[in-house]
Chain A
Amino acid sequence: AQSVSQHNHHVILSEAASLELGCNYSYGGTVNLFWYVQYPGQHLQLLLKYFSGDPLVKGIKGFEAEFIKSKFSFNLRKPSVQWSDTAEYFCAVLRRALTFGSGTRLQVQP
């Protein structure tokens, strides 16, 4: 079945550690890819998106993601996390509508 997979369900890091969250999708052809963040009690906010062009995408708050077509991946990275990055992160693919992965809960310890 076509899907979006996020293999890390819960990640715990210390402040200043580097972050990489995995996202794989199983759709063929052209895809539009997104990362959203959901802070506790808040709505989903767009971190970054990829439509075409440079496969390395810069987003808000120091986040970036790399689209690797051969691996069907769109991993999210941040060189140095902060306590305020504690949130749930969702990868999504746009087909008929946004299809989301199951999310990764990131906990950053001070």
Chain B
Amino acid sequence: NAGVMQNPRHLVRRRGQEARLRCSPMKGHSHVYWYRQLPEEGLKFMVYLQKENIIDESGMPKERFSAEFPKEGPSILRIQQVVRGDSAAYFCASSPPGSHMLEAFFGQGTRLTVV
């Protein structure tokens, strides 16, 4: 059973471009969470999704950021018109049905660098 898979591991974008980060949860997991880790800071919650539904997006910036978890395929975190301040490590976690984050597993993260 593969762990939570995130790709790419490293992503470089120029200011104004779009960044797409993908997360494939562990097999059998239906809950996905995205976190952002800025340099020298802890992980900050962004969004919680279940299949085809956004459950809690209280941590998402109001503009330029969106997330989806379609019925088929990975969860996608999309950042439009990236700025230097978006440079960070983005982590995805997944958990099985009914457990919320009591049994959460994290991916290795995507390190986004905006130049």
CB of A96 within 8 Å of the partner chain: yes
Given A43-B3, A43-B108, A44-B91, A97 and B43 contact (CB-CB distance below 8 Å): no
Residues of B within 8 A of A (CB-CB), count: 24
Across the interface, which residues of A come within 8 angstroms of B101, CB to CB? 94, 97-98
In the bound assembly, the distance between CA atoms of A45 and B100 in angstroms comes to 17
Complex interface residues of chain B between 96 and 115 (CB less than 8 A to chain A): 100-102, 104, 106-109
Contact with B along A75-110 (1 / 0, CB 8 A): 000000000000000100010111111110000000
Across the interface, which residues of B come within 8 angstroms of A90, CB to CB? 42-43
In the bound assembly, the distance between CA atoms of A71 and B4 in angstroms comes to 35
B residues bordering A, Cβ < 8 Å? Answer: 3-4, 33, 35, 40-45, 48, 56, 58-59, 91, 93, 100-102, 104, 106-109
